[in-house]
Structure 1
Amino acid sequence: MGFLGFLLLGLIAGAIAKLILPGKQGGGWLITLLLGVVGALLGGFLGGLLFNANLEEFFSIQTWLLAIGGSIIVLLIYGFVVNRGSKARN
């Protein structure tokens, strides 16, 4: 998968993760892109490590599920850090 394909995968996976998680997550499309790309990296790393998954194909359901799962994990961590920081300021 090329670099632009990976960015597109990260953006879409981040957007889907935001739709799946309840509540309001902050950040615009740039934060969604960054969290999605980091999530796709995390999902790909964990998928390769735990399931010996081959993540070379853009249109593979396995690639998408791992990217979305990784994005959900990263989005949960991001929400925890951001919400904890805003509560500490109050």
Structure 2
Amino acid sequence: MPEGILSWILIGLVAGALGKLIMPGRDPGGIIVTILIGIAGALLAFYLTPLLQISLTQTWHHYLAATAGAVVLLALYRLIIRRRT
């Protein structure tokens, strides 16, 4: 099971790709921005799950939490960018 921030960053790379599959479409910034948002979503999950007292016991739980964080951040990113243009 991933314990440190570095492993969550690596999970974030996968979560960014999964987030893009879940929310297809054109994003300003392309795949690099999507991967960075995935990493940020994974780090968000890393910090929020203990605060919300959510126990991540299996490795796939970590991927699920990171992907959920990536999807939430990707949706927020799209909302912010749309309002700017």
TM-score for both structures, normalised by structure 1: 0.74
User: Which segments of 5 or more consecutive residues in structure 2 lack a partner in the other structure?
Assistant: none
Q: How does 1:1-90 map to 2 (within 5 A)?
A: 1=2, 3=6, 5-54=7-56, 60-86=59-85
CA contact (8 A) 2:41 2:70 kept: yes
- Where relative contact order (Cα < 8 A, 6+ residues apart) is larger, the structure is 2
User: Which segments of 5 or more consecutive residues in structure 1 lack a partner in the other structure?
Assistant: none
Percent identical:
37
Q: How much is the aligned-residue C-alpha RMSD, in angstroms?
A: 2.1
* Paired residue total: 82
Spell out structure 1 runs of 4+ moving beyond 3 A: none
